[in-house]
Amino acid sequence: MIHTLRTSFLAATAACALAGGLLASPAFAATELTFQRFFGACDADFGSNTDVSKAVGECGIITSMVNKFNADNPDIHVAVTTVEWPGYDQLTAQFAAGDPPDIVTIHHSALSDYQTKGLLLPLDDLLAANGIKPADFTDASRNGVTKDGKIYGLPIDNWTMLFHINMDLFKQAGLVDASGKPILPKSVDELLAQAKQFKEKTGKPYLIQNLANETALYTRNLYTYLFQQNSDFFADPTKVKINTPEAKKVVEMYKAIFDQGDTTKDLDYAASINAFLAGEGGVHLNGTWMIGDYNASAEKPGTALNKGGYAVYPYPQLFSGKHAQYADGHSLAVSQKDRSEEQTAAIGKFLKFMADHDFDWSRTGHLPAMKAVLDSAAFKALPHRDTVAPIAELGTSLPGAVQRQFAIQDIIGQEMSAAITGQKEVDASLADMESRINELLANL
């Protein structure tokens, strides 16, 4: 034992030397690029797959795309680091440490946080050199990645929230018209009435929402119905005006649904997906990315969605203002860093490759970022794209100059949840919401 102890003292020196030795990374002949992304890891299924058309799901498709790129370009090696969604804490820490990845997935809504600090490379020249013009992007995508007149990320998609519908339950509830389409509400009153009818006929809640410790869903719901009332709550990107009659109407609508028991209440995100797949409610409020999974489930005999079918629509227009709903998107941004010409060229090649394969990415359910793909027959032939296509026009995001949108989302979600579940008065929550956001924005 004494001997062991002494050895361990000596081992300390050895460990330090070892650690030092491991620091030196082996040199690669190929140009090395680091690509940091969320969307998870799925090496077991797609780790060596280079046939992108065979891949399914966000993770499978992006993994296969990178594999294909590496296989096609032996002189470049893209090394992938996956981070826990959304990975911004880590990215911030990396930028602060002066050691960011070359290419990184960033939401359109989060780009300005990094762009305003001068951390991202403007991509206009690099994209132009690789034959990608700003006009190639859909309007929503181009607007999402353009800050101060420059492009700060290659947009790969737009996404939004949707009404995912269990048609079997809708039929039971008498909410299907003669042509077999679901009947969706056209006003707040209709929504509440249909929800009530749904519950009476099926015994199940109309909406499936993940309300447990959730902030994103609340926020997206609020933004959507504020847009529909023409409420310009971020007229000044540094000062929100959200303690308004319009916002009150939206919160009270969701509160009424909650109070009448027309929504699931205590589900978290995963549980809400399970609940919809098990036929526990009529409409699941979830994003574009679920279309593929739900469609697959609907095709499988014996499932709740197979019984009467699955349909998916944009959020219904409930107010008399402009037709709109909240949308965001993913982009590939490039960090500001000292690079050789080969490295910069390699990044350009990678971005070009990703843009060229935008159709493959759109199979996830997201709307493509490239106009040509959106208009293509192949895209239109994908399941349910006919009913969700209007979101290309409807999709609206916050003004690009609004910073800390993820932090704002937390505040809105917290206060809205407090109001809807009755923890707090509606007026008090809206007042707190406004003052907390403005406190945040005043201290950037």
Partner 1 sequence: MSSMTSAHAPTPASDVGRGAPSGMVGRTTGDRIILGLTIALAIVMMAPLLWVVALSLKDNKELMVSMNAVFHAPYTVQNYINILATSSVFRWILNSLVVAGGLTVGTLVLSSLAGYGFARLNFPFRNVLFVIVLMGLAVPEQAVLIARHQLFSWLKLHNTYPGLILPGLSAPFGVFLMTQYFRAIPKELDEAALLDNASRFKIFWKVLLPLTLPAQATLGIFTFLGAWNDYLWPLISGTKKEMYTLTVGIASTQTNFAQSEGLGFLMSQAVFAGAPILILYLFFQKYIVTAVSGAAVR
Partner 2 sequence: MADAALSSPANRAAPAKARVQNVQAPLWRNALFVLPFLVVFVALLVVPLVWGIWLSLHKADAFSSGRFVGFANYVRLYNDKIFWQAIGNTFYFVLLTVPALAVIGLMLALALNSRTRTAAVLRTVFFASSVLSVTIVTLIWRIVFVPGFGLLATVYGWFGAAPPAFLSDPDLVMIAIAIATIWWCIGLPMMLFLSALQQIPGDIYEAAALDNANRWRTFRYITLPSIKRTFVLVVVIQIVLQFQLFGQAKLMTNGGPNNVSKPMVLYIYEAAFTKWDLGLGAAASEVLFVLILIAAMVQFLVSRRKGESA
Decide whether 7 or 435 has the Cβ nearer to partner 2. 435
Residue 269 partner contact from partner 2, partner 1, none using kind-dependent CB cut-offs of 5 to 8 Å: partner 1
Rounded-to-integer distance, Cα 93 and Cα 398, Å:
26
* Binding of partner 1 by 333 (CB under 8 A): no
Residue 291 vs 441, nearer CB to partner 1: 291
- Nearest distance in Å: CB 1, partner 1: 6
Least distance in angstroms from the C-beta of 250 to partner 1: 23
Q: Are 263 and 211 in contact (CB under 8 A)?
A: yes
CB-based contact 159:366 (threshold 8 Å): yes
From partner 2, partner 1, none, which one binds at residue 150 (CB under 5 to 8 Å depending on kind)? none
Minimum gap (Å) between residue 259 Cβ and partner 2: 16
Binding mask 247-276 for partner 2 (x = CB under 8 A): ------------------xxxx-xx--xx-
> What would the x/- binding string for partner 1 be over residues 99 to 128, using CB under 8 A?
x-----------------------------
Which residue's structure tokens are 């030397």?
17
Output the CA torsion sign for 294, 295, 300, 306.
positive
Report whether 163 contacts 184 (CB < 8 A). yes
* Distance, CA of 317 to CA of 400 (rounded, Å): 24
| Contact between 213 and partner 2 per CB under 8 A | yes
Cβ contact 263:207 at 8 Å: yes
- Asked if 96 interacts with partner 2 (CB under 8 A), we say yes
State yes or no: residue 417 binds partner 2 (CB under 8 A).
yes
Which pair of tokens denotes residue 368?
Answer: 């493509």
Taking CB under 8 A as the criterion, the residue among 77, 185, 243, 269 binding partner 1 is 269
Q: Does 440 bind partner 2 (CB under 8 A)?
A: yes
Closest CA to 155 of 346, 344, 302, 371: 371
The correct pick among 407, 428, 431, 438 for binding partner 2 (CB under 8 A) is: 407
Residue 235 sits in the site that holds partner 1 (CB under 8 A): no
Residues 6+ positions from 259 with CB-CB distance below 8 Å: 422
Measured from the CB of residue 438, what is the shortest distance to partner 2 in angstroms? 13
Q: How many residues does the chain have?
A: 444
At 275, list the tokens: 């609940």
| 425 interacts with partner 2 by CB under 8 A | no
Is there binding between residue 266 and partner 1 (CB under 8 A)?
A: no
Paired tokens of 228: 């529909």
Options 62-70, 173-181, 251-259, 410-418: segment touching partner 2 (CB under 8 A): 410-418
Q: How far apart are CA 283 and CA 98, in angstroms?
A: 45
The identity of residue 41, as a single letter, is: A
